Structure 1
Amino acid sequence: MVVSKWGNSLAIRLPAAVVDALELHEGDDIEVVVASARIFELKKKPGREDFLARLRDFRGKLPADFTFDRNDANE
């Protein structure tokens, strides 16, 4: 990968293998995490559909003894 100037910023072009592995599309949000001085990780941020799927999976799985107290929650 080559670092290029893009306006006032620097940019890299992702190889097709990385795009395919992360199933990236134009407009997707990604996160770059610096692991060490010369190593970084690239992660695809979950989209709205991913969050909705996680919520659907979670639905109805609270413990049987769970109670919600609105007053405690608003303190």
Structure 2
Amino acid sequence: MANSEHSSSDDTSVDSREEESRNRSKLEFSEDEEILIIRMYNLIGERWKLIAGRIPGRTAEEIEKYWNSRYSTSE
């Protein structure tokens, strides 16, 4: 039974690593996506939902997070 308990904790750590990997890849945008985001931002500003509507498979939250991590200016 000790093995099943140990196995359960291993599964949790594997799930955590997989989720971290997915979150990291969500912020990796292709060059085409990046260009489109920049163009759309210059046209319509921070209307992330509209921008996301032009990029299949991306959510407004992902795009906003990407933008803020990449282009946000600290004052």
Question: If the TM-score is normalised by the length of the shorter chain, which range does it land in?
Answer: under 0.3
Larger Rg: 1
Q: Normalised by the size of structure 1, how large is the TM-score? A: 0.23
Higher strand content, 1 or 2: 1
Identify, as 1 or 2, the structure richer in helix: 2
Give the structure-2-normalised TM-score: 0.23
